[in-house]
Amino acid sequence: MTAPVGRMAAVVFDAYGTLLDVHAAVARHAGRLGPQAAAVSALWRAKQLEYSWILSACGDYEDFSSVTARALNVALAAHGVADGALREDLLGAYRRLDAFPDAAPALTALRRAGMATAILSNGEPGMLQEAVEAAGLAPLLDAVLSVHPLRRYKPARAVYALATERFACQPHEIAFVSGNAWDAYGAARFGFRVHWLNRAAVPSEYWLEDLAAARIGTLAELPGLLAP
């Protein structure tokens, strides 16, 4: 399902899982992990998100680099991997994830249409800067916004307010794009016009249809929906 929207103050993207492929780090070292590579990557991502939610729910905070490292420790231990050098290589690779092939073309098309583009991410500033530069996305973004100054993670409402503050606009003037359904839910509840990037065509969840969140299968759809 897709839905057109009017002129937006900015198109704001989640980074990890939306513009950046979170499984690229393990993919680069899959040969060293063997047949359990996919399972390690899936658990790493699941624990990374789980820890961010628990920290926020408890009023605590560790930056996303630390959360990512702790999650990897658990994923490796769960699969009996005790290779310190591999752990360091995986963490290094996570800081330089590949962009999805449709990311740069979509950002380029939106900017050519005169639209501001930004990232709003759980990543800490240094981690994000390294990631967008390595992925070649830095020149295509007007802002890279991190939760770090707030010391809270998505889906806290204060996180989404970082975008409205940056672009001096109301929530409905932000088009928000995320490949994470839970993030799309939080953004829609805040009042953004949400486009849930459902690359894997999984069933809808988090009441997104009730919240009128549009569903897209690729970032290539965005320019036609959003460009004035």
Report which secondary-structure segment, H or E, holds 31: helix 30-33
Q: How far apart are CA 84 and CA 86, in angstroms?
A: 5
Cα 5 to Cα 103: distance, rounded to the nearest angstrom: 20
Per the annotation, the verdict on 14 as an active-site residue is yes
3-state secondary structure of 146: strand
Name the active-site residue from 14, 21, 98, 183. Answer: 14
| pTM of the shown model | 0.94
Nearest to 4 by CA among 180, 191, 228: 228
Q: Residue-wise pLDDT tens for the chain (228 aa)?
A: 333 345 789 999 999 999 999 999 999 999 999 999 999 999 999 999 999 999 999 999 999 999 999 999 999 999 999 999 999 999 999 999 999 999 999 999 999 999 999 999 999 999 999 999 999 999 999 999 999 999 999 999 999 999 999 999 999 999 999 999 999 999 999 999 999 999 999 999 999 988 889 999 999 999 999 877
Alpha carbon 31 to chain centroid, angstroms: 26
140: exposed, middle or buried (Cβ count in 10 Å: 0-12, 13-18, 19+): buried
Are the C-beta atoms of 223 and 201 separated by less than 8 Å? no
Tokens of 86: 């591999």
**In the block, which residue shows the tokens 């995320």?**
178
